[in-house]
Structure 1
């Protein structure tokens, strides 16, 4: 009996020793280099290229000590921008950057990360609700949905206000009623709820459509309006827009992610917060620059009053958010957590 106990103890100790040896062996960069190919839903003209995905790629390569190399191809190089999300999920590419909502993706829960209409006002608020405060952790809902689609959410950036850029004045939400605006996905939910007529069209067609009068403006991320030359054809920028903190996400194919060592995965997860605030500040700098370009071109920046922002937030929560909640069980949970967060910070 004593001999049996000795053998069992010896074997157990051996397992621990071997496990410890393996852990030590994996505690550092692997010898092999992993090479990935990403294709975002956009190309180099989008503000998310230089201010979002490229800084994240550089941070990943540095954090993994060069053991993960990522080549980023523009939309259309491998698949269309509209197909980029599903291509990453299917393993046609190793990753995607864009918006995993009802446009540019097929994941309703992505709306929780993209940014709720009249939701968070800043990167700090968005981070607290999504990841920073254990009372909410809405990001876990998004990650769960991503994993169910064979993706891992690994990067995030606040692009600043997604706003209305128009040929007509907007000083209250009723001023949007009856106007034809380019609005896709979540923007269309908001615009139609406000009584407007959303029009779907490719990004490359917006400038000409505004110039010809086919539409009267567009919803767009503020920092990117000069990249699209919208300041040449619109007269007004309406701040803080319909989404004061609109985000872009980065997803990795889950099989590609799982093929990494634990050390590599930990290193990449470890830069999530750092790159979030770094790239968000880069976008914020771009917002101020873009608005000044609009002013210099003769345009006007209209700042909605605090009272009007409160009215627009109340209508969005009452009339737009339920449309988001009904898209999935995860969205329903996330919407309730977002409501609670805004109540807790006194914004609703």
Structure 2
């Protein structure tokens, strides 16, 4: 065989090997990236671009990472099911996924709320540490498993504000008889102090405050609150929202559908959920400073809850927890874990972080930053 003939045959063999390799590789890729399209029911309207947008962030990441093979179509509250039925629809298999908050369903079982937030628990940083490294995700999923669901954290607002009040609240006496729009679990706590909790949808809060049907209302924080114009009818803006120190929004998936996913998609889904979770908190931290300055410029008067009020609410919350842990084993298991983690979290937080933040805040108030 001459040299030229050998080269021609070798080239042919090489091309064949490449073609064969490609033929073998293509089915493998197709098998690991099957085409899957899911529907996700959000509990939020599109106008809340921070919270609703968390689901869009997840959808975009999954599509980009799989060349469009794993698609999640996001539907705003009311488009497929009412916002407060998103988890129910996912559990039933009406949709494959939901973007919602556990405490929306606390009326069925208070354990739902522990996946999101409860009064005087953890701030956002502590909650994320407990969830991702303190066993929180697994503990909540033990509970969700009974509902036919699998959940992963999908956003956090950071510590929320204490709400809008038509009059100043200086003492515990001022809270008695106060009609306040406040979420379910916290409502059970403030009831012990004489507050009359009211359940109202976001769009109904402004007219109720304006007419005096209610005396106060909590919503989220400066960026979201500003859109609703509360400062025009209830100028006193209190802080902190002790009932939501670090509320987690969840992505919840139909358990059977999640189990059908290939391992690569499950891994990708977990990673994308964690990215969307972090992104929401970062976005709020970016937007809230500008919003609170704007609110104050337009009439909002910032007020801290007094230590008397905070202490009374803390004691009332502990009464509620004692009642719930005595009667609900699922609640007790998760709450005991949070309590143990909370103790060490705030032990450490007061050492370096607290002192650094406090010093920098003093510089800010002295106009040195």
TM-score range, shorter chain: 0.7 to 0.9
Indicate the residue corresponding to 1:77 in structure 2.
79
Q: After superposition, give the CA deviation of every residue in 1:274-294 in whole Å (9 maximum; x if it has no partner).
A: 332221111223333332232
Give, in whole Å, the separation in 2 of the partners of 1:99 and 1:288: 24
Give, in whole Å, the separation in 1 of the partners of 2:240 and 2:208: 24
Alignment length (residue pairs): 320
Q: After superposition, give the CA deviation of every residue in 1:248-296 in whole Å (9 maximum; x if it has no partner).
A: 1111112221221111011111233333222111122333333223212
Q: Which sections of structure 2, spanning at least 5 residues, go unmatched?
A: 1-26, 351-369
Structure 2 CA distance for partners of 1:83 and 1:167, relative to 1, 3 Å: same
1:125-274 pair list within 5 angstroms: 125-132=126-133, 136-162=134-160, 163-171=162-170, 175-222=174-221, 223-242=223-242, 243-274=244-275
Query: Given that residues 231 and 297 in structure 1 are in contact (C-alpha distance below 8 angstroms), is that contact kept between their aligned partners in structure 2?
Result: yes
Greater CA drift, 211-220 or 276-285: 276-285
Indicate the residue corresponding to 2:68 in structure 1.
66
Give, in whole Å, the separation in 1 of the partners of 2:125 and 2:29: 32
Give, in whole Å, the separation in 2 of the partners of 1:316 and 1:53: 35
Give, in whole Å, the separation in 1 of the partners of 2:296 and 2:252: 36
Give, in whole Å, the separation in 2 of the partners of 1:197 and 1:309: 16
Task: Using the TM superposition, give the Cα deviation of residue 113 of structure 1 relative to its aligned residue in structure 2, in angstroms.
Answer: 2.2
Structure 2 CA distance for partners of 1:52 and 1:29, relative to 1, 3 Å: farther
TM-score, normalising length: structure 1: 0.82
Q: Are 1:301 and 2:302 matched, yes or no?
A: yes
Query: Given that residues 29 and 65 in structure 1 are in contact (C-alpha distance below 8 angstroms), is that contact kept between their aligned partners in structure 2?
Result: no
Task: Using the TM superposition, give the Cα deviation of residue 227 of structure 1 relative to its aligned residue in structure 2, in angstroms.
Answer: 2.8
Indicate the residue corresponding to 2:363 in structure 1.
none
Task: Using the TM superposition, give the Cα deviation of residue 177 of structure 1 relative to its aligned residue in structure 2, in angstroms.
Answer: 2.8
Query: Given that residues 83 and 104 in structure 1 are in contact (C-alpha distance below 8 angstroms), is that contact kept between their aligned partners in structure 2?
Result: no
Query: Given that residues 232 and 299 in structure 2 are in contact (C-alpha distance below 8 angstroms), is that contact kept between their aligned partners in structure 1?
Result: no
Choose between structure 1 and 2: higher helix proportion: 2
Q: What's the RMSD between the two structures over aligned residues?
A: 2.8
Indicate the residue corresponding to 1:86 in structure 2.
88
Give, in whole Å, the separation in 2 of the partners of 1:39 and 1:54: 12
Task: Using the TM superposition, give the Cα deviation of residue 69 of structure 1 relative to its aligned residue in structure 2, in angstroms.
Answer: 0.7
Task: Using the TM superposition, give the Cα deviation of residue 139 of structure 1 relative to its aligned residue in structure 2, in angstroms.
Answer: 2.4
Q: Partner of 1:101: helix, strand, or coil?
A: helix
> Which structure is larger by alpha-carbon Rg, 1 or 2?
2
Q: Partner of 1:149: helix, strand, or coil?
A: coil
Query: Given that residues 171 and 302 in structure 1 are in contact (C-alpha distance below 8 angstroms), is that contact kept between their aligned partners in structure 2?
Result: no
Indicate the residue corresponding to 2:330 in structure 1.
330
Give, in whole Å, the separation in 2 of the partners of 1:335 and 1:160: 20
Structure 2 CA distance for partners of 1:54 and 1:31, relative to 1, 3 Å: closer
Query: Given that residues 182 and 219 in structure 1 are in contact (C-alpha distance below 8 angstroms), is that contact kept between their aligned partners in structure 2?
Result: yes
Q: After superposition, give the CA deviation of every residue in 1:296-344 in whole Å (9 maximum; x if it has no partner).
A: 2211122346x55862574255223335535732211121222222222
Query: Given that residues 86 and 105 in structure 1 are in contact (C-alpha distance below 8 angstroms), is that contact kept between their aligned partners in structure 2?
Result: no
